[in-house]
Structure 1
Amino acid sequence: MSIYRKHFIPLESSPDVFNELLDLLGVLPSLRFEDVLALDGPHDFPRPVLALILVMPTTDGYESRKAVEDVRYEESGSGLGEDIVWYKQTINNACGLYAILHALSNGVALDVLGTQSPMANIIKDCSSRPPDERVLALEDSTELDDAYAKVALQGTSRVPDNAEDEVDFHYVCFVKSQNSGRLYELDGDRRGPVDRGLVLEPEEDVLAPRSVNVVQGYMEREQGNMNFSLMALVRRET
């Protein structure tokens, strides 16, 4: 069991809440999260999809499979030269925040993000550090703290009475490496980035059928549990 030095109220899995956090951290309005209502479309948002965030139940079966898989992975090294940027989660109940960071720190989203916003500065600072130093930079960011506190109580879902209370859902981010085209699962609760064994073609985004099959696998393994939702990070014309 992880021991955390810092605790946040979990974010509601709502594009409106996620986008409000982006706004507070100066992210351009061209980068937005949208609900994915059906994996096989049609979709009312533009393609390519830059990242997917899967919201899923933390069942015993999921935890068991994760423990078996994690034996094969080690924490990544410095961000310099990495195929993907990954953040180890050290803030309790902040998996939504880490999913946002993973979505924005990789692939095309990083280019669209620009260089002038508070979020861009946070990512630039963290991505050049090894993971153990990244976690401290995130924990110590007052800009991140202040923006998160403003949105954490938004939405319609009931929030825990205490930030240290455990919740029964989790956020996992899927991104395509801009360097290799490989599909990665990024989860701060893992030992490192998980290479899902797919090299996506230049014209394939993370909502392409081969990538969707990976996401569907999570749902199918839970045998009828419907407590899943999916958000896409897209680039909109402004």
Structure 2
Amino acid sequence: MATEQKEEYRKYYVPLESNPEVFTELIQNLGVDTLQFQDVYSVEEPDLMAMVSRPVYALVLIFPSTSDAYKNQKTAEEATRSAYVGKGDGEDVVWFKQTIDNACGLYAILHAVCNGDAKNLIPPTSKLAKLLDKVIPLDPVERARALEDSKEVEEAHARAAIQGSTAAPDANVEVDYHYVAFVKSHKNNRLYEMDGSKKGPVDKGVQLKGDEDLFSEGGLSLVKEFIKREQDGNPNFSLMALVPQQV
């Protein structure tokens, strides 16, 4: 959750626990009762992978933000890119620039739910649907400020943040983990890495076939590639999947 651009932050949130129940609580607080988050225990073992409900609409990876491999890769990648300026219905994906500190969990959740097939499952009268109607026409800077100013989102996040099994840290204390989401474009089935602390969405050059979801070979390859970058074999990763609400 810590980033290099501290001067950009005007607001601080209590960080979310890496817990699918907490993540699900947040989207329910925003009126989305059609989806839920679920732990993924393995991307290699068939028996454990079979426990994941399908379809998987998005994947959220949690990892140490202090990793040198992540920092070096991010610096190199960002040096070659321009700041994202997309807006409106023509966007391949809906991306939010992170301007709230300690809230990368919130941004990962929004990226997961607001893209691909999951977007079509957001109830049209929900708080999240109304937020999207407001922010999609805006450029990334205006969109970020609109999210900051949303009392509904702030209240939903605060209610979810106190639901974890461990004591919530102070909002002003930096924590050494970060969340990114992998999502599918609703327009062309291409896969994107969504990280609010970067300059914009990252097209990963992978395109799913018609009936494939994020838990297919293409989606899992992105997670495996991300983890493999850790040269020291850092085991402190966890993964969640966004799936249909289980009755």
**Which interval holds the TM-score relative to the shorter structure?**
over 0.9
Structure 1 residue 158, shift from structure 2 partner: 4.5
**Aligned AA (2:38):** E
Q: Distance in 2 between matches of 1:43 and 1:13?
A: 21
Counterparts of residues 32-181 of structure 1 (less than 5 Å): 32-40=36-44, 41=46, 42-58=49-65, 59-74=67-82, 75-161=84-170, 163-181=171-189
Structure 1 residue 210, shift from structure 2 partner: 2.2
Q: Tell me if the contact between 2:92 and 2:188 (Cα under 8 Å) persists in the aligned partners.
A: yes
Percent identity of equivalent pairs? 47
Structure 1 residue 73, shift from structure 2 partner: 2.4
User: Structure 1 stretches of 5 or more lacking a match?
Assistant: none
Q: Distance in 2 between matches of 1:144 and 1:136?
A: 12
Query: For each residue in 1:19-56, what CA deviation from the matched residue of structure 2 results, as whole angstroms up to 9, or x when unmatched?
Result: 1112211112x201000111134333432200000001
Query: For each residue in 1:83-109, what CA deviation from the matched residue of structure 2 results, as whole angstroms up to 9, or x when unmatched?
Result: 111100000010000001101111111
**Aligned AA (1:92):** D
Q: Distance in 1 between matches of 2:121 and 2:111?
A: 14
Query: For each residue in 1:52-99, what CA deviation from the matched residue of structure 2 results, as whole angstroms up to 9, or x when unmatched?
Result: 000011112211110101123221321330111110000001000000
Q: Distance in 1 between matches of 2:203 and 2:158?
A: 33
Structure 1 residue 237, shift from structure 2 partner: 5.5
Corresponding residue of 2:29: 24
Q: Distance in 2 between matches of 1:194 and 1:26?
A: 28
Q: Tell me if the contact between 1:27 and 1:117 (Cα under 8 Å) persists in the aligned partners.
A: yes
Q: Distance in 2 between matches of 1:120 and 1:44?
A: 30
Q: Tell me if the contact between 2:190 and 2:207 (Cα under 8 Å) persists in the aligned partners.
A: yes
Q: Distance in 1 between matches of 2:86 and 2:185?
A: 16
Corresponding residue of 2:18: 13
Q: Tell me if the contact between 1:107 and 1:176 (Cα under 8 Å) persists in the aligned partners.
A: yes
4+ residue segments displaced more than 3 Å: none
Q: Distance in 2 between matches of 1:122 and 1:9?
A: 21
Structure 1 residue 193, shift from structure 2 partner: 0.4
Q: Tell me if the contact between 2:193 and 2:204 (Cα under 8 Å) persists in the aligned partners.
A: yes
TM-score calculated relative to the size of structure 1: 0.94
Structure 1 residue 164, shift from structure 2 partner: 2.1
Query: For each residue in 1:129-150, what CA deviation from the matched residue of structure 2 results, as whole angstroms up to 9, or x when unmatched?
Result: 1111111111111111111111
RMSD, aligned α-carbons: 1.4
Q: Distance in 1 between matches of 2:177 and 2:142?
A: 27
Q: Distance in 2 between matches of 1:23 and 1:110?
A: 14
TM-score calculated relative to the size of structure 2: 0.91
